[in-house]
Amino acid sequence: MTAFLEIANVGKRFGGTAVLEGIDLTVDRGEAVCLLGPSGAGKSTLLRCVNMLERIDEGIIMLDGEELGWREAKGRMRELSGREEARQRQSIGMVFQSFNLFSHMTVLENVIEAPIGVLRRPRAEAVESAHRLLKQVGLDHKADAYPAQLSGGQQQRVAIARALAMQPKLMLFDEPTSALDPELVGEVLDAIKQLATTGMTMLIVTHEIGFAREVSDRFVFMEDGRVVETGPSSRLTVAGAETPRMRDFLSKVL
């Protein structure tokens, strides 16, 4: 069976520096996979490549049977136009370290902006969906508030609802709690855990090993732009690590 997300022999360079080399990774439909590793390992770059915010230099990325960023025309592969790429990107939700909410819009307006403006959904339908999603992340009572009136954890949960409003096939999380005060981390992680129970396919960059063990089906440990080790999340212990490098990493962060 073909994987829902397939990353095959992907490479990415910035100037003369390789930041991703020969990345092979598959994610099944409904699976949650956490990307772990030290800073500079290439985890965030890999997410940006999947979301086509960065152009890969080698390999292919397939989502639900469709190659991302390219299509065949008259027997040759060509890069997608900006409009075609935007269409593909609609299938991929991404939550960044920073919240990127529109400060001049209410929470509800932030969530309905793209469904109305991009997907051309009727306003009433978008509003109904937004309230449902805000309730899912525990913030429907803040629908009329502005981002400045929210805590960092609340803003990040709004960002999750906003991404979900586009009804993506795949959700990407790039260290979604790294910009938060420690006491606010739990509420965002809880929202992602709840999302995992709905069967959403997710690729998550995180340093929260306990969270990764609890929410993910598998982990991928990266270093220096390469995949070092993969396995079921139950192996996210020092004793469960198979490679010396991952064992050393876990001994320092756990």
User: Regarding predicted confidence, which is higher, 36 or 83?
Assistant: 36
Q: What local confidence, expressed as pLDDT, does residue 86 receive? A: 84
Q: How far apart are the first and last CA of the chain?
A: 36
Range scoring the smallest mean pLDDT among 80-84, 111-115, 182-186: 80-84
Are 127 and 112 a contacting pair, CB within 8 Å? yes
Burial string for 179-216 (b: 16+ CB within 10 Å, else e) reads ebeeebbebbbbbbeebbeeebbbbbbbbbbebbbebb
Give the C-alpha separation, 66 to 52, whole Å. Answer: 13
Q: Is the confidence at residue 8, as pLDDT, over 70?
A: yes
Q: What is the mean pLDDT of residues 53-74?
A: 88
- What single-letter amino acid sits at 179? A
* Closest among 118, 138, 116, 117 to 128, alpha carbons compared: 116
Q: Is the confidence at residue 1, as pLDDT, over 70?
A: no
Q: Is the confidence at residue 85, as pLDDT, over 70?
A: yes
Instruction: Say which residue the tokens 């929260």 belong to.
Output: 208
- Render pLDDT for 119-169 as a digit per residue (tens, 0 to 9): 999 999 999 999 999 999 999 999 999 999 999 999 999 999 999 999 999
Give the C-alpha separation, 7 to 194, whole Å. Answer: 26
Give the C-alpha separation, 197 to 234, whole Å. Answer: 17
pLDDT band at 83 (very low <50, low <70, confident <90, very high): confident
Q: What is the mean pLDDT of residues 212-217?
A: 94
Q: Is the confidence at residue 93, as pLDDT, over 80?
A: yes
